[in-house]
Structure 1
Amino acid sequence: MKKRDICVLGGTGFVGQHLVAALSSAGWHVRVLSRHRERYRELLVLPNVDVIEANILDEGVLREHFPGAAAVINLVGILNERHRGDFQAVHADLPRRIVSACRLLGVPRLLHMSALNADAATGPSQYLRSKGEGEDAVHAADLAVTSFRPSVIFGPGDHFFNQFACLIKAAPGMLPLACPGARFAPVYVGDVVAAFVKAMTNKSTCGQRYNLCGPAAYSLRELFEFTAAVSGRRCTVIGLPNALSAIQARVMGLLPGKPLTYDNYLSMQVDGVCAGGFPDVFGITPASIESIVPRYVARKGDPFDEIRHHARHD
């Protein structure tokens, strides 16, 4: 590897594909480790990008591909478990293995994707506790670490507004909605990616943990109603009380693609909003959902295509 080489884990995911393209455009040589190389041919044609099939959960594999890297970026994350213990393995154990490999091989820089409200001790869900554990592990290392804690991320190819649109299209004019009052400050994927790229060359970001939010906060009900409007659909949202929200989450967690799980429900017990604006250090004015989402939310097609897609790739 050369001095401008970066090894990216999770580079084939939603944020990862946007980030890899941005790093390539910025002149970095990017090595993407993925379990399924041939699924992501759009990355294979990017200049200065190598996609390597690898089991990233194996520390021996990490040691094989980290040598000479100027930095490692960890974007790996899951919203739902297929098997008990997956959150721990992916969000907590993997970051520890990454730190170990970086230390052994002299990789000086690590950028880590965490989550807003991640907290190993007080997170209300397994997702947030495991994310907090991983975040604490990387910051305990003697490396130049920067972590990012975004609210829900949106943009072309997202699992958030696209899935909302699918559920609205499939609904018979009305939709019972769990946790309608839960609040989020959706942040544009392009702004998240820009923060990562800028952090690569800004030493003042080392050792910092950045909350990333968009310019406005919305209730889940408002986000559903916004999605219905831009999709050109009429759909009455019926907000469920807390007890029924928990039941709906357990039922929907059994469906293909798991549109909502009980652990997701627990995560929504704390609002996904930031106390301040987008961190000044990055010089970014965050984009609003109103300026971006109407460009990509589909108005046609099979309402279950997006859910099936994520069921195959989760």
Structure 2
Amino acid sequence: MITAPASGAQAWPVLVTGATGYVGGRLVPLLLDRGHAVRAVGRSVAKLRCRPWSDHPNAQFAEADLRDREALAQAMRGCRTAFYLVHSMNPRAGADYAAVDRELAYTFVEASRDAGLERIIYLAGLGEADDPNLSRHLRSRAEVGRILRLSPAAVTTLRAAVILGAGSASFEILRHLAERLPVMLTPRWVRTKSQPIAISNVLEYLAGCLEHPETAGRSFDICGPDTLSYEDQFRIYSEEARLKRRVIIPVPVLSPRLSSYWLGLVTPVPISLARPLILGLKTKAVCREHSIRDIIPQHLLSCREAIRLALRKVEQQSVDTCWHDAGQTVTPEWVACGDPAYAGGAVLQDGFRATIQAKPEEIWPAVARLGGQAGWYFGDNLWRLRGLADKLVGGPGLRRGRRHPTDIRLGDSLDFWRVVRVDPPTLLLLHAEMKAPGEALLQIRLEKKSPDRTELSMVPRFLPRGLAGLLYWWAVYPFHSWVFAGMLRGLAKATGRPIVDGPDKYKPGTADVCRLPGVH
């Protein structure tokens, strides 16, 4: 499905994959500001339409799964150039992320041939493919580049080291380690040299390659001006954040596995993502050539300038995109399609409600602040305990927080939940990304009962996987009445309006997302 181009849009839109991710989510508005028509591709057009740039007259949207050759080719038609900004190194891809990336790249090549694409611009990692010490993550990025070059389209590859910017995984690891640990026992890779580059410089190079046809078919190293160890970067961050000098003690006994568990506990980055990142840090990441600087000249921010700018963005709560933005936003089929219990197992659910003397519009701001610094309005220690348990088994935990303290949109992460539907001021549907033996949803609904009274309800739903899933549900079930009733009271208190009825338990009916208009 492709949305119609706006009147006056350019005839040859630029295709951007990964448009909801960290880099793609920033590249799209930059290209639009430069006068390009952009066709953003994603699995959910609804999620794309929640982006601040979605109402730009030259923005187009195409819904396609990158595994679907036909849908991808359809999305490419009418485009001459495509940005390939996707990778599968996330908690849900697990250990097979390299195989997934390989499959996506081959499908992209086939679709580009079908659609007659002329150029592909690919952002890769810095590292030599023939280096025997190259990490699996960086080796996978190099392999994707080789596969893309099988396309008849001319491929431009930009190879970057550590990308520094507010919300990037590398910056968040650096920030949380420096702020939480005055003394750090680190692996020896802390003294490995690299050339970190600011996200603003990466975006300028990406956009510049589109505007400079002489970059077609070539590979470039892109780096910042400083060659630093990771120990140096910790020191610079501490100085810019006005922290006391951090003591860093490299030791030989910390394996990548142990280091990833430690990072998973201390930072918001889950273990499954931290491990390949750490393995990549063992490899020296320094530019071997600088030819792109002559083609696309720009002021390259120093590491200190990049960190200072990122800290300012964090302090101003103006982080454009985050490393965890690219998550699944499709409502699970067992909720969306209303399948009977025998189709996929019984869906377990519970319901709690309270009537508050307020309008939905008056209660919604408190609902929209859930998670992050605001917490969950009740039992925060229990939520933290669940988050810690999730961290220990490789999940995101609670430290992931949220993109913005008050603004909420489709696809946002709220601690270990993902927003899969948001209809202010009546509905918030959250899909759990925590590690559990099944799939979980939390529905929060506001229903107007009279001009000044609103029923606020919470319905947790769970589709268990096997006996472990059933045991998990019944183990946490006794806590539901305490936790969800407490959350309802907490939301009413945050609103500043009294509860006139409840909280009480009730038996919820069919999931609201399953109902057809006019059918009850």
Which SS does the other structure have where 2:125 is aligned?
Answer: coil
2:180 partner letter: A
Write out per-residue CA displacement over residues 68-115 of structure 1, whole angstroms, 9 at most, x where no aligned residue.
Answer: 11211111124455322122212x221221111111111111111111
Preserved CA contact (<8 Å) 1:175 1:235: no
Q: Does 1:129 align with 2:142?
A: no
- Quote the Cα distance in structure 1 between the aligned partners of 2:398 and 2:52: 20
Cα distance in 2 for partners of 1:195, 1:106 equals: 25
Amino acid across the alignment from 1:190: S
- Distance, in Å, in 1 between the alignment partners of 2:399 and 2:225 is 27
**Structure with larger Rg:** 2
Deviation at 1:152, TM superposition (A): 1.1
**Residue from 36, 44, 51 that aligns with 1:28:** 36
**Partner in structure 1 of residue 300 of structure 2:** 286
Q: State the shift of 1:222 in Å.
A: 0.8
Q: What's the offset of the Cα at 1:12?
A: 1.6
What is aligned with 1:258?
A: 270
Ranges in structure 2 where 5+ consecutive residues have no aligned partner: 317-371, 374-396, 403-412, 419-432, 434-520
Preserved CA contact (<8 Å) 1:7 1:71:
yes
Look up the equivalent residue of 2:52 and give its one-letter code. Answer: E
- Counterpart check, 1:88 vs 2:88: no
Whichever structure has more strand as a proportion of its residues is: 2
Number of residue-to-residue matches in the alignment: 311
Checking the alignment, whether the CA contact within 8 Å between 1:180 and 1:239 is kept in structure 2 is no
Larger deviation, residues 23-32 vs 49-58: 49-58
Judged with a 3 Å threshold, the aligned counterparts in structure 2 of structure 1 residues 237 and 54 are, in CA distance, closer, same or farther, namely farther
Q: Say whether the 8 Å CA contact 2:183–2:248 is kept in structure 1.
A: yes
Which residue type is aligned with residue 157 of structure 1? G
Matched position secondary structure for 1:14: coil
Question: TM-score, length-normalised on structure 1?
Answer: 0.87
Q: Does structure 2 conserve the Cα–Cα contact (< 8 Å) formed by 1:99 and 1:138?
A: yes
User: Equivalent residue of 2:287, what SS?
Assistant: coil
Which of 194, 199, 202 lines up with 2:204 in the alignment?
Answer: 194
Structure with bigger RCO (C-alpha 8 Å, 6+ apart): 1
Tell me, yes or no, if structure 1 residue 271 matches structure 2 residue 284: yes
Deviation at 1:257, TM superposition (A): 2.7
How far, CA to CA, are the matches of 2:257 and 2:114 in structure 1? 47
Q: Kindly, what percent of the aligned residue pairs are identical?
A: 22
**Secondary structure of 2:247 counterpart:** strand
Instruction: Rate the CA distance shift 1:163–1:42 in 2: closer, same or farther, 3 A.
Output: farther
From the superposition, tell whether residues 237 and 12 of structure 1 become closer, same or farther in structure 2 (CA, over 3 Å).
farther
Aligned-residue Cα RMSD (Å) equals 2.9
Partner of 2:232: 222
Could you tell me how far 1:203 is from its partner in structure 2? 2.4
Encode CA deviations 1:261-294: one digit per residue, 9 max, x unaligned.
Answer: 4433322221111123462221233221222321
Q: Which residue matches 1:307?
A: 400
CA distance in structure 2 between the aligned counterparts of 1:8 and 1:38, rounded to whole angstroms = 15
Q: Aligned to 1:19, which of 11, 22, 27?
A: 27
Question: Structure 1: which amino acid aligns with 2:276?
Answer: D
Residue number in structure 2 paired with 1:174: 183
CA contact (8 A) 1:212 1:278 kept: no
Read off the aligned partner of 2:23 and give its amino acid letter: V
Q: Report the TM-score when normalising by structure 2.
A: 0.54
Q: Which range is displaced more, 7-16 or 215-224?
A: 7-16
